[in-house]
Amino acid sequence: MNYKLLINKIIIIFIFLKIITFSNLLFSESFSDFEEQLLPEIIIFDENKLQTKLSSYIKNSDYRLIIINFWATWCPPCIEELPSLNRLAIKVEEQGINILAISMDRGDEKQLYDFLKQNGGDKLKFFQDKNWSAGKSLPIRGLPVTLLVKKNKNEMKIIYKYEGPLQWDSKEVENNILSLVGTI
């Protein structure tokens, strides 16, 4: 009799944990519960080893919303989500949205650029943060991490931060991102 009671309790706990996990996933994809913050200064390098400030790149772009994905070659979830980010980039570019893929690897920029293109990221704008300036100033506790940044004149604000992999080209995520563009 006690054995059946124990099994029932384990099943209830398991179901409860599954519900919590599922509700966290749905909540995290809503893009609504994040306190905006200014984008810190981050030094990045392009595939030609040219150094720039992330804020300078964003200021000089014509995009209203920039999605910044921090990834690494040694991170399987990062590599797994690159194709969905790439598909999203194709879908949303005409709406004034640009997607940057910033590698946190310390390797050669050209090799990392080639790795990104070979792993489903050919429509993503490549940069490298080989000094982990983003990791120190945001802070980044793990990868992948994705920021949604809106540009308003000379001010760049992080309006959303997502930690972990996500299916970026799902209809729900795409609609949430497009709804943000309408508020900028």
Q: What distance in Å separates the CA atoms of residue 77 and residue 135, rounded to the nearest whole number?
A: 18
Residue 49 has pLDDT above 80, yes or no: yes
CATH topology of domain 34-182: Glutaredoxin (3.40.30)
What is the Cα–Cα distance from 140 to 116, expressed in whole angstroms?
20
The domain limits of the chain are 1-30, 34-182
- Residue 86's CB is within 10 A of a number of other CB atoms, namely 22
- Range 78-85 average pLDDT: 97
Q: How far apart are CA 119 and CA 62, in angstroms?
A: 27
Specify the pLDDT at position 5.
Answer: 77
Distance CA 43, CA 54 (A): 6
Q: What is the distance, to the nearest Å, from the Cα of residue 137 to the centroid of all Cα atoms in its chain?
A: 16
Arithmetic mean of pLDDT, 3-8: 78
pLDDT of residue 153: 78
- Tell me the average pLDDT across 134-155: 89
Least confident of 7-11, 104-108, 116-120: 7-11
* pLDDT in the model for residue 14: 58
Can you give the pTM of this predicted structure? 0.82
pLDDT bracket for residue 25 (50, 70, 90) = very low
pLDDT at residue 4, as a whole number: 79
SS (H, E, C) 114-141: HHHHHCCCCCCEEEECCCCHHHHHCCCC
